[in-house]
Structure 1
Amino acid sequence: DGGPAPAAWRLEGEAEKVVYSRSQISFAGTKALGDALKIFMPKSTEFMSSDSELWNFLCSLKHEFSPVILRSKDVYG
């Protein structure tokens, strides 16, 4: 049968691509990210000796600098 694959097969294939894509970024991008941090934030990389420390540092930045979304009721009462 040369017909299209069921929707469940397509979703499963797409999910695998996302996982594969993300794993490529995490392994390939660590050195480039570390180099960029050394240039723009020299003191921030002094304590990073492993990928997990780098990840923890980035997560702390996310929580520290996450935006606050205000709704109209927050502004106008």
Structure 2
Amino acid sequence: MPLDFMPLGRSYVLTSDNRYFLRFTYSLSKTWVHGIHALRTVFRYAMKHRRAAALWKSAHAELSSAESWRTRFELSRI
């Protein structure tokens, strides 16, 4: 394997000045991936929480309404 193209970890040694640039771009892309993944996780959590909150709200509204209590009472007597 020629010395000017030797895999060194994840960055490749092409020339002495190119090496640092490649390592920098790799670390930058890694940071981007981590950032996007973090945003995605936060967004998914927020959506899940919103859905859960909406479900809880509707269920609570249904439970607190007197009509549903009366219906439940009548159904329990059958």
Between Structure 1 and Structure 2, the one with more strand by share is 2
Between Structure 1 and Structure 2, the one with more helix by share is 2
TM-score by length of 1: 0.36
TM-score by length of 2: 0.36
Q: Is the radius of gyration larger for structure 1 or structure 2?
A: 2
